[in-house]
Amino acid sequence: MRYKAYSAIIGRKKRTEEQRAKDDDNRPVFVHLFDVHDPHKTTEVPKEMLDFNVHRVKIHGLDVNYLPAGNDILINRLKWIEVGTEEKEPKHLLIKGEQIPIGQKSEEK
């Protein structure tokens, strides 16, 4: 599904007891979407919170930053982002989108 957002944070969640009991390769992953750049530096709450249970996350064609403090991935300067599982491999989360070129002003709120 396609979303309009200025940034996204992708991270891993803790497994529940039920998920541990399954003992499969899938892990809970979140994608939080924001209307500001660098949301980890603000008190802004996500405008969308998406949860998935997947084996792999694939990020195509986007400039990303790794945040070691939380083991999260940050994607800034978004025009839009598309997030969803692959049709042929539903255990894979596919993330793609379009970013504002570096140096170009955004229309951030």
pLDDT tens digits, 19-37: 778 768 889 999 999 999 9
Domain ranges for the chain: 2-99
Instruction: Kindly give the parts of the chain with pLDDT less than 70.
Output: 23, 106-109
Whether this prediction's pTM lies above 0.85 is answered by yes
- Which residues lie below 8 Å from residue 72, measured CB to CB, with a gap of 6+? 9, 10, 11, 40, 66
**What local confidence, expressed as pLDDT, does residue 106 receive?**
66
9 phi, psi to nearest 5 deg: -120, 130
**What local confidence, expressed as pLDDT, does residue 107 receive?**
63
Query: Using a CB cutoff of 8 Å and minimum separation of 24, what contacts does 99-102 make?
Result: 99/62, 99/63, 99/75, 101/77, 102/63, 102/77
**What local confidence, expressed as pLDDT, does residue 108 receive?**
55
**What local confidence, expressed as pLDDT, does residue 29 receive?**
96
